[in-house]
Amino acid sequence: MEIQLRRAYDSPRRGDGYRVLVDRVWPRGVSKDDLELDEWRKEIAPSTRLRKWFGHDPERWKEFQKRYFAELEGKQDSVRELMKRARQGRITLVHGARDQDHNQAVALSAYLRARAAGRQPRVR
């Protein structure tokens, strides 16, 4: 299963494969044409309440992951669909966050990889 991450503000690349926006809110200042998405899965993004609480604060990263993983447990149809797509070929999780290390795409990627391997996702 090959999953990569890309910011919405970076140009799409030929090798991105299936591009999925995983933000609940459309990235500011980016047109739909420029983003070149295959789909927008806003339902798999963290809840508005969780997103606002986190605020991309690295100090809250571990707790954010715990809470987001718990939310993902209730979104298993979407999780299964993304995993199926990833088994068919490369997918790129597109996000609008500035912080490349502490965002929902990083957490979602870890969650999907753990689930695909039959493991519980681990907070890192």
pLDDT surpassing 90 at residue 7: yes
What pLDDT score was predicted for residue 124? Answer: 85
Residue 31 domain-assigned? Answer: yes
The residue range of the domain holding 67 is: 3-116
Residues 97 and 63: their CA atoms lie apart, in Å, by 18
pTM: 0.94
Percent residues over pLDDT 70 in the chain: 100
What pLDDT score was predicted for residue 1? Answer: 85
pLDDT surpassing 90 at residue 123: no
What pLDDT score was predicted for residue 104? Answer: 96
Residue 123 domain-assigned? Answer: no
Question: How open is the CA angle 98-102-105, to the nearest 5 degrees?
Answer: 85
Residue 8 domain-assigned? Answer: yes
Residue 38 domain-assigned? Answer: yes
| C-beta separation of 20 from 94 below 8 A | yes
**97 or 124, higher pLDDT:** 97
pLDDT surpassing 90 at residue 122: no
Residue 94 domain-assigned? Answer: yes
Q: SS3 helix, strand, coil % of the chain, rounded to 5?
A: 50, 15, 40
The predicted-structure confidence for 51-91, as pLDDT tens digits, reads as follows 999 999 999 999 999 999 999 999 999 999 999 999 999 99
